[in-house]
Amino acid sequence: ISIVGHSEKCLCSGTGISHFQLSRIKKLDVYPETPRCAKVELLATFVNGIRTCLNPKSPWVKRFMGKLLKKRFG
């Protein structure tokens, strides 16, 4: 799974990883769809410094976003 910049249009080529530990995510970059890239892209930075694309369709991602939304989003 390529991490960044392989397909000129989108940051992530391929689907991205689907399984990961929620607590290992230090930061998540969310790129909405744009004319340049017609899909939402999620680029995670893990606590060990590794940056990789997440599969937006993964249940783990939905759980992560759900947790965020519940946590301090009131």
Residues that bind a second copy (CB under 8 A): 22, 25-34, 39-40, 56-57, 61-62, 65, 68-69, 71-74
Whichever of 3 and 65 has its CB closer to a second copy, that residue is: 65
- Shortest distance (Å) from residue 42 CB to a second copy: 9
Q: What are phi and psi of 20, to 5 degrees?
A: -165, 165
Burial 23-50 (b: 16+ CB within 10 A, else e): eebeeeeeeeeeeebeeebbbbeeeeee
- Shortest distance (Å) from residue 26 CB to a second copy: 7
